[in-house]
Amino acid sequence: MGRNILFVTTDQQRYDALGCNGGRIARTPVADRLAAEGLNYRRAHNQNTVCMPARSTMVTGQYVRTHGVFANGIALPPDAPSIAGWLHEKGGYRTALIGKAHFEPAFDFQGRWFENRMAREGSTGPYRGFERMELAMHAPIGGWHYSLWLQNNFPAEVGGFARVLSASPGGDTGAPEVAYNPIPREHYHTDWVADRTIAYLDSLDEDADWFVWMSFPDPHHPWDPPASEARRIKWRDLDLPPGYPGSRERIEKILAQKPRHWLEWYQGRFGNDEGGPGTFVPCKMTTDQIREINALIHVENELIDEAVGRVLARIASRKWADRTDVFFTTDHGELQGDFGLLYKGPYHVDALMRVPLIWRPAPVAAISPAEITDPVGHLDLAPTFCRIAGVPIPEWAQGKPLPVNRVDRRERVITEWDSQFRQIGMHMRSIYRDGWLCTVYEKSTRDIGFDMAQIPPLLRGNAPTPDITYDGTEGELYNLAEDPLQWRNLWNDPGCQKVRSDLVADLYDNLPKPRDPMLPVEAPA
């Protein structure tokens, strides 16, 4: 018998959501205990700040420009490598993914992609190297396993969820995509994912080696946790987040230092369709709405922590605890009021790029607890899983096993952005190194991506069509030691030109060649 791997992911969760990472609101004792007993990576970054590219990097162990899913709406190719398949083939691991996958476009009412129709076909796999898949998304619509389970067994509970990407007002403050969901807690997707994970584990023999990816759809919008739990944190008692600058004048002064799409989104002249509802105008958001949304996010984070605790308890009862490695991370973060903004998108700052990453090694591995401050990325997960399983690291994996001490030093981590929509056409490359965060804006295009004219009016409404063009000279540069909130852009500061030039050169020296041709964007989400 070897070591088992429980890979826990959330969706759109900030680094500071957890108590072990400085969070002061949500109670996350399970994640905090994993961090105390294991390795807490203080500077882990994703390789893209939206769902599909980040998740494709996790499963392939590759840079975005290599696996080709550079934006939402691009299906990961059927022949793409899968770390689950590799562990199954080379190590005999039993493999499962329970919860949100999103390797294929979710805006797919006809079931063009197998991921979205497999439940309707009565299938649970195998698919993409996972012997079993039971899938869920953010609401009980579509053909995913959770959706059909709720529709078939509790149809009266389907209507309590908020509508994703609608920006529809709700809650006490009229905040976008907020609802107090009357669904019983045990029927909400967080507990469903934990229940189905436990059921899968219970189906395995005691001597099985397994890799289970338990993937929670929360705390991604819409923010609609069960009403029975939603008031456990009172939004009226919350302070505004440290990243919220204060007055509109102060917000606009900070955003004016950044490339144009920052301020123009805030003021409503740029529709951020790539990271949230295009109709959402941040400057119209009230401080009470920020508080209410944050309160619900904190509740969702607590529910996830409690669900993870239930699964770990079952692992312990099966006598697997001593030989089970546990990983906890997310695909990307959430602005949550930072800079006066909400959601995600082409905004390369810590709120979206820096992610929680905890590895509690199996006790039999005898790896000492540590805090690792060197930069690491999602593409380092697949090689780490191989090291644990005792199988060769495949040639297609582009990362390295995660460091377990301060001796195995790392210098940099890279995150990329290429627009999903041709009318936006932004291309950003970011490097974090030596406490600096540098983002290059490459020249804008107008011939890459999905045509926004094909998006149904129900989704875009009267959202403005972007008209921002970058000529390749723009960028962002932050000294995180002096400016941890990234409020002062030093890109054009004369005293920072040497460090800027060095970081840009290092960035391009370490980027692999892009996939050619680029994969087509085939759906709006």
Q: How many CB atoms lie within 10 A of CB 164?
A: 21
Beta-bridged to residue 20, according to DSSP, are none
Rounded to 5°, the CA angle 188-194-200 comes to 130
pLDDT at 408: 82
pLDDT tens digits in sequence order for the chain, 525 residues long: 899 999 999 999 999 999 999 999 999 999 999 999 999 999 999 999 999 999 999 999 999 999 999 999 999 999 999 999 999 999 999 999 999 999 999 989 889 999 999 999 999 999 999 999 999 999 898 889 999 999 999 999 999 999 988 889 999 999 999 999 999 999 999 999 999 999 999 999 999 999 999 999 999 999 999 999 999 999 999 999 999 999 999 999 999 999 999 999 999 999 999 999 989 999 999 999 999 999 999 999 999 999 999 999 999 999 999 999 999 999 999 999 999 999 999 999 999 999 999 999 999 999 999 999 999 999 999 999 999 999 999 999 999 999 999 778 899 999 999 999 999 999 999 999 999 999 999 999 999 999 998 887 766 777 787 889 999 999 999 999 999 999 999 999 999 999 999 999 999 999 999 999 999 999 988
pLDDT at 61: 98
Q: What is the 3-state secondary structure (H, E, C) of 228-247?
A: HHHCCCCHHHCCCCCCCCCC
H/E stretch holding 512 reads none
Distance CA 5, CA 39 (A): 15
pLDDT at 458: 67
Kindly state the DSSP code that residue 251 receives in the 8-state scheme: H
Q: Is residue 28 a contact partner of residue 234, using CB atoms and an 8 Å limit?
A: no
This prediction's pTM: 0.98
| 3-class state of residue 452 by DSSP | helix
HSE, side-chain direction, 13 A CA sphere, residue 139: 21
| 3-class state of residue 442 by DSSP | strand
Phi and psi, residue 201, nearest 5°: -60, -40
Kindly state the DSSP code that residue 46 receives in the 8-state scheme: -
Distance CA 322, CA 319 (A): 7
H/E stretch holding 161 reads none
Q: Is residue 243 a contact partner of residue 199, using CB atoms and an 8 Å limit?
A: no
> For the purposes of burial, counting CB atoms within 10 Å of the CB of 442, is it exposed (0-12), middle (13-18) or buried (19 or more)?
middle
Length of the chain: 525
Task: Using the structure block, give the residue that is written with the tokens 């609802």.
Answer: 179
What is the third-level CATH fold of 4-246+282-408? Answer: Alkaline Phosphatase, subunit A (3.40.720)
Phi and psi, residue 45, nearest 5°: -125, 150
Phi and psi, residue 218, nearest 5°: -85, 160
DSSP 297-355: HHHHHHHHHHHHHHHHHHHHHTT-GGGEEEEEEES----TTGGG--S-SS--SHHHHEE
- Using CA atoms of 178, 230, 19, 63 in order, give the dihedral in degrees to the nearest 10: -40
Residue type (1 letter), 243: G
Phi and psi, residue 267, nearest 5°: -85, -5
